[in-house]
Amino acid sequence: MSRKFDRAGEAGLQFYGKMTASMSHELKNVLAIIKENAGLLNDFTCMAEEGGMPVDLEKVKRVTEKIAKQTRRADGIVTRLNRFGHSIDESSKSVDLWDLLEFVVALSGRFASMRGVTLERKPPASRVTVTTVPFFLENLVWLCLDFAMGVAGTGKTVGLIVEETKNGARIKFTHLEDLAKVPPDTFPAQRAKVLLGALNSELAVDVEAQEIVLTLPESIGG
């Protein structure tokens, strides 16, 4: 088990790097917007002081609202970053699968946007939990999502469904119309296979149903 976990940990480092780089990039954009708007407020002040142009309070209000909005956005990114960092804390834990999926979707938002893919989620009727390694599962869900977004392509939608099963749960990645065009054995690739092994889980690529299905045991030890 330990060797299996070490190999999954190596895959996890790539995932960790990709996600933190993406979040830092997003934060840079937010900081750039805050900086420009702070600069704009300074411009208003300079124009009033040096040019005698009266300050337009409506404009000032509009700019301060933009700064407040971007501050909230930055807070959301940092909160995600913090949660992501802490997902390594526990090696095994009971997780709400829908909550975890929503979190990975939030982490993947920028990647989906870059690819022009919409992620459509359908929440389960009731809470679905599994006992698993949260960080490995986040990584595996990301790999599935990354593959699914690549198959879907620009302007398309990937559906995400969480369902309870008799012995655990499953996540379906649906609407993959072009799945038949993907060469067999493309997915799962090595990294995903390592994680599937570490999580005692299974992955089915169903070309006919145009979906991939990740099946998880109720408990990783079970």
Partner 1 sequence: MRVLLVDDERELVSTMAERLSFRGIDAEWACTCDDALKRVESTIFDLAVLDVKMPKMSGLELKRKLQAKCPGMKFIFMTGHGSKDDFEAGSAETGSEYYLVKPIRIEALIDKIKDACTK
Q: Could you list the beta-strand ranges (E) of the chain.
A: 93-96, 118-122, 129-132, 157-165, 168-174, 202-206, 211-217
Q: Is the dihedral of CA 122, 123, 125, 131 positive or negative?
A: positive
Binds partner 1 by CB under 8 A, chosen from 7, 9, 29, 105: 29
Asked if residue 35 binds partner 1 (CB under 8 A), the reply is yes
Asked if residue 87 binds partner 1 (CB under 8 A), the reply is no
First and final C-alpha spacing in the chain = 14
Q: Taking CB under 8 A as the criterion, which residues in 125-164 touch partner 1?
A: 154
Q: Which of 196, 22, 195 is nearest to 108 (CA)?
A: 22
Q: Which is nearer to partner 1, 126 or 154 (CB)?
A: 154
Binds partner 1 by CB under 8 A, chosen from 37, 87, 129, 215: 37
3-state SS assignment for residue 119: strand
Q: Which is nearer to partner 1, 63 or 119 (CB)?
A: 63
Asked if residue 47 binds partner 1 (CB under 8 A), the reply is yes
Q: Which is nearer to partner 1, 22 or 200 (CB)?
A: 22
* Contact criterion met (CB below 8 Å) for 132 and 221: no
Q: Which is nearer to partner 1, 69 or 193 (CB)?
A: 69
Residues in the chain: 222
Asked if residue 222 binds partner 1 (CB under 8 A), the reply is no
Binding residues for partner 1, how many (CB under 8 A)? Answer: 25
Q: Which is nearer to partner 1, 115 or 175 (CB)?
A: 115
Asked if residue 86 binds partner 1 (CB under 8 A), the reply is no
Calpha distance 4→142 (Å, rounded)? 19
Asked if residue 70 binds partner 1 (CB under 8 A), the reply is yes
* Contact criterion met (CB below 8 Å) for 131 and 97: no
Q: Is the preceding omega at residue 188 within 30 degrees of 0, hence cis?
A: yes
Binds partner 1 by CB under 8 A, chosen from 15, 26, 132, 194: 26
Sites of contact with partner 1 (CB under 8 A): 24-26, 28-29, 31-37, 39-40, 43, 47, 63, 66, 69-70, 113-116, 154
